[in-house]
Amino acid sequence: MADNNMTKGYDKPNLPYSLEAEQAVLGAIISNGKVIYKVAEILTKSEHFYVKIHRDVFDAMIDLYCSGKSIDFVTLLEQLKKNKVFDESKGKAYLKDLAENCPNISNAAEYAKIIREKYELRTFINALQKAICEAADGTTNLTDIINEVDRKIYDIMRDTTNALEPFSKGMLRVFDRLDINVRNSDKSIPTGFKGLDKIITGLNRSDLILLAARPGMGKTSFALNIAKHIAKDRKKTVAFFSLEMSTDQIVTRLLSSEAMVERTKMLTGDISDEEWFRIVKAGDALAKCDLYLDSTPYLTVGEMKSKLYRFKNIDFVVVDYLQLMSSRRKNSNYVREVSEIIKSLKELAKELNVPVLCVSQISRSPEERDDHRPIISDFSNMYPALQDVDTVLLLYREGYYANPSDTQIDDKSCECIIAKNSHGKTDSVMLEWQSEFMRFKSWNHLCE
């Protein structure tokens, strides 16, 4: 095969590559310019070649290809001169050797696949070597290192070339997708609270919904109620990221809500045979749901994305809660960090085309007012970040602030305030808070 010292420095590579395959592909194209049509479907950039001179030659070939010019020995040599990357005296002989020593022009596509595979192996090795260096110097968080490697692997797996294909094959794929769309024709996903759905038109795909309140209002329970309804009653796939509670705590709450057995009884084990039967029945129903729980603390949006990419389909994502999330931006102030997280969550919703509901705390401002009802400005210095949020829901229970001795206060009523609504008006709906079961119901049960 050709060498002429043009590939000096690559005879003992540190990374995998095939000198023979690279030379064979280029030689085949020089011998028959039309081979570029097959090769360009597989090798979409010159970086797929390991040897620098081969990258330069392939770049020149692509320049000719894109300009509609034929590729042969003469046109290629002229293009290389124009690109000013070739030594004419040595390069002329090298191009001639490439053409004369090509094993089999008809196998050019197979040679190209070998080059592509070696490139992907090098990319993988480089990612691992970078991870090893970062792990060794101890300056990068281990979770960030792992997720960066995971992202790189995903990119390699996704980085495939779409060749021309028969219409019939594409048609079958489109019909499959149409069938799914017909069966899931509703663009939005109902929350399970019809009064709320009428105002916000359900949970719309690619929307970011912020569910906020002061501590103790039932934010997590409300988010779990919605997640359970979507997974169990709507038969959709839900991912619930709990950054505060363990998976066992989340499961206990879901079982209590579904079985209508007091959570305190489940924690103490003081349950009757009939209650135990309801718990088992509830567990059997929930186990059949596509509901996935993750209790990893201080997650970043990037880490969530890496986990969600492993699923073929996700319909709804819940994050509980915003203030416990981490940002990749180091040493940033609180406002910038929260803005970055919210912006990233919105991008996640758009990329996955699913509604993302994020639970959030609000400032202490409601406690400093006579009317403790929350308002959107209670997000304080988070307020500018709300431009990336489509819907803001605020929970308020008057009974939470009541004097325990005041028997006139209804501690079961809860107001869900729609403080921002990109799909319609702002309003509020009443809910019933069943504290013993950690669940909400529509105030008018006939609306369920």
Write out the two tokens for 274. 């009939």
Tell me the C-alpha distance between 351 and 349, whole Å.
6
DSSP readout, 151-196?
HHHHHHHH--------HHHHHHHHHHHHHHHHHT--SEE--S-HHH
Our CA angle for 242, 340, 373, nearest 5°, is 65
Whether residue 321 has a cis bond before it, omega within 30° of 0: yes
Question: What Rg do the C-alpha atoms of the chain give, in angstroms?
Answer: 30
Q: Is 244 a catalytic residue?
A: yes
**Nearest-10 Cα torsion for 188, 189, 194, 197:** -40
Contact (Cβ atoms closer than 8 angstroms) between residue 34 and residue 72: no
**What's the sign of the alpha-carbon dihedral 240, 241, 243, 246?**
positive
CB 13 within 8 A of CB 50: yes
Partnered with residue 293 across adjacent β-strands are 240
Among 41, 117, 120, 244, the active-site one is 244
Contacts by 134-140 with C-beta closer than 8 Å and gap 24+? Answer: none
How buried is 432 (Cβ within 10 angstroms: 0-12 exposed, 13-18 middle, 19+ buried)? middle
Q: What are the respective helix, strand and coil percentages of the chain, to the nearest 5?
A: 55, 15, 35
Question: In this structure, what are the phi and psi dihedrals at residue 167, rounded to the nearest 5 degrees?
Answer: -55, -40
Three-state DSSP class for residue 205: coil
Rounded CA separation 440/194 (Å): 13
The residue type at 167: F
- Long-range CB contact pairs, 165-174, < 8 A, 24+: none
SS3 of 356, please?
A: strand
- Whether the CB-CB separation of 211 and 393 falls below 8 Å is answered with yes
- Neighbouring residues of 272: CB distance < 8 A, sequence distance ≥ 6: none
- Tokens standing for 264? 């305190």
Q: Please list the active-site residues.
A: 244
